């Protein structure tokens, strides 16, 4: 076999591998997108088309009746406002406290900081579900149950955020902080003007993850909030399955409305999300 034939064979093999690779990706994309497409299709159907046989993948008479009815449900708009308030306020509280904790554990030398960090990381092994009952008891006795602002207190300690920021801050050379100290900068100036800008990617990643986590949280709001006017969107949407059992188009419309903020946040900050994951996983 000549060299030219070998090169031709290799190029054909590379082309076939590329075709197979993209074909598999297309198939997986279709499989993953199918439930999302079904949600959109169902939300645009009227009640008569929901149980039609054969199944209508594309509704014959699409409409926005489900969305119109959705926004007339009592406290629906209020639940969206509650979810936005909690997601933004709790994410900010989580980032501020985690950044300050990570700075103290990595850039301020003191005895026992390694033990403290190990205790922080060990908290990651505790399932969140088993803490709901103790949290409810403590919040009830403190008079903080059924209070949206109480959720902010629960975000003052987040082991995952502290761990990610510690990993990143360890990669920042101490020469920056030492030079700033020689120039007369105090600890707060070093933290706000030097350390935080270096951690912008990780902070953006944690902001996205925190927003998604709090926006999608169901069990904790269900445990602490009993007033319907203070319910979050996830809690209110869960009532649709019991109150409007046969109106699947209404449930799908509600699910799609709850997805929109998450998609908007991720699409707007996906660049920082990738960079933050790459840097946050570096071991210092």
- Clarify whether residues 209 and 247 are in a common domain: yes
- Summarize the confidence of residues 6-31 as an average pLDDT: 84
26 & 106 share domain: no
| 8 and 102 inside one domain | no
pLDDT for position 241:
67
pLDDT of residue 7 exceeding 70, the answer is no
Per the prediction, the chain carries an average pLDDT of: 82
52 and 171 inside one domain: no
Residue 143 has pLDDT above 50, yes or no: yes
**Amino acid 68: pLDDT:** 86
Q: Which three-class secondary structure state does DSSP give residue 185? A: coil
pLDDT at position 38 over 50? yes
Residue 202 has pLDDT above 80, yes or no: yes
Q: 115 burial class (0-12, 13-18, 19+ CB within 10 angstroms)?
A: exposed
Residue 109, domain extent:
66-280
Q: Are residues 98 and 205 both part of a single domain? A: yes
Task: Please give the average per-residue pLDDT across 173-202, as a whole number.
Answer: 85
Chain centre to alpha carbon of residue 222: 19
Share of the chain above pLDDT 70, in %: 86
Same domain, 55 and 125: no
Tell me the per-residue pLDDT of 44-87, one tens digit each, with 9 for 90 and over. 877 655 666 666 677 777 778 888 888 888 888 999 999 999 99
Write down the pLDDT at residue 243: 60
Is 100's pLDDT higher than 60?
yes
Residue keyed to tokens 């009993």: 226
- Which of 16, 30, 31, 46 minimizes the C-alpha distance to 253? 46
Peptide bond into 54 cis (omega under 30): yes
Per-residue pLDDT at 131 exceeds 50? yes
Task: Provide the CB-side half-sphere exposure for 51 (13 A, CA).
Answer: 4
For the whole model, what pTM was predicted? 0.79
pLDDT higher than 50, residue 254: yes
If asked whether residues 12 and 58 sit together in one domain, one would say yes
What SS3 class is residue 78? helix
d(CA 235, CA 215): 11
Token match 């959109």: residue?
40
Give residue 54's pLDDT: 67
pLDDT digits (tens, 9 = 90+) for 210-232: 998 999 888 888 888 888 888 89
Contact 230, 82 (CB under 8 A): yes
User: Is the model's pLDDT at 156 over the cut of 80?
Assistant: yes
Longest dimension (CA), the chain: 84
- CA–CA gap between residue 278 and residue 160 (Å, rounded): 15
Percent of the chain with pLDDT over 90: 14
Residue 13's Cβ-count burial label (10 Å; 0-12, 13-18, 19+) is exposed
Angle of helix 113-122 relative to helix 76-107, nearest 10 degrees? 150
Residue 115 sits in a domain whose CATH number is 1.10.3720.10
Residues 150, 192 within the same domain = yes
pLDDT of 265 > 70? The answer is: yes
Do 59 and 74 reside in the same domain of the chain? no
d(CA 252, CA 40) in angstroms, rounded, equals 7
Q: Which of 21, 41, 63 is the last residue of a domain?
A: 63
Among 25-39, 148-162, 257-271, the least confident range = 257-271
Distance in Å from the first CA to the final CA of the chain: 52
Look up residue 176 and give its two tokens: 């920056």
158, 106: one domain: yes
Q: Are residues 48 and 96 in the same domain?
A: no
Domain count, the chain: 2
* Judgement on whether residues 185 and 245 belong to the same structural domain of the protein: yes
Show which of 30, 63, 96 is a domain's final residue.
63
- How far apart, in whole angstroms, are the C-alpha atoms of residue 152 and residue 158? 12
Q: Which of 36, 63, 90 is at the close of a domain?
A: 63
- Only one residue has tokens 């989580």, namely 94
């Amino acid at each position: 076999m000549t060299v030219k034939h070998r090169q031709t064979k290799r190029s054909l093999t590379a082309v076939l591998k590329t075709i197979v690779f993209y074909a598999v990706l297309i198939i997986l994309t279709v499989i993953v997108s199918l439930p999302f497409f079904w949600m959109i299709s169902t939300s645009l159907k009227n009640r008569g088309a929901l149980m039609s046989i054969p199944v209508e993948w594309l509704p014959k008479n699409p409409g926005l009746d489900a969305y119109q009815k959705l926004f007339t449900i009592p406290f629906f708009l209020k639940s969206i406002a509650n979810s936005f308030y909690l997601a933004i306020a709790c994410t900010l509280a989580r980032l501020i406290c985690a950044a300050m904790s990570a700075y103290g554990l990595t850039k301020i030398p003191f005895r026992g900081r390694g033990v403290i960090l190990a205790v922080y990381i060990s908290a990651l092994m505790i399932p969140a579900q088993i803490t709901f009952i103790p949290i409810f008891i403590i919040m009830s006795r403190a008079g903080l149950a059924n209070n949206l602002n109480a959720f902010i207190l629960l975000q003052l300690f987040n082991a995952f955020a502290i761990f990610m920021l510690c990993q990143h801050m360890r990669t920042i050379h101490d020469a920056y902080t030492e030079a700033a100290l020689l120039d007369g900068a105090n600890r707060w100036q070093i933290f706000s003007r030097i350390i935080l800008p270096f951690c912008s990617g990780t902070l953006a990643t944690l902001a996205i993850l925190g927003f998604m986590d709090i926006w999608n949280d169901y069990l904790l709001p269900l445990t602490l909030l009993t007033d319907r006017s203070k319910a979050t969107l996830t809690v209110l949407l869960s009532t649709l399955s019991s109150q409007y059992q046969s109106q699947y188009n209404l449930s799908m419309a509600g699910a799609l409305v709850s997805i929109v903020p998450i998609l908007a946040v991720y699409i707007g900050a996906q660049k920082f999300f990738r960079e933050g994951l790459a840097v946050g996983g570096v071991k210092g």
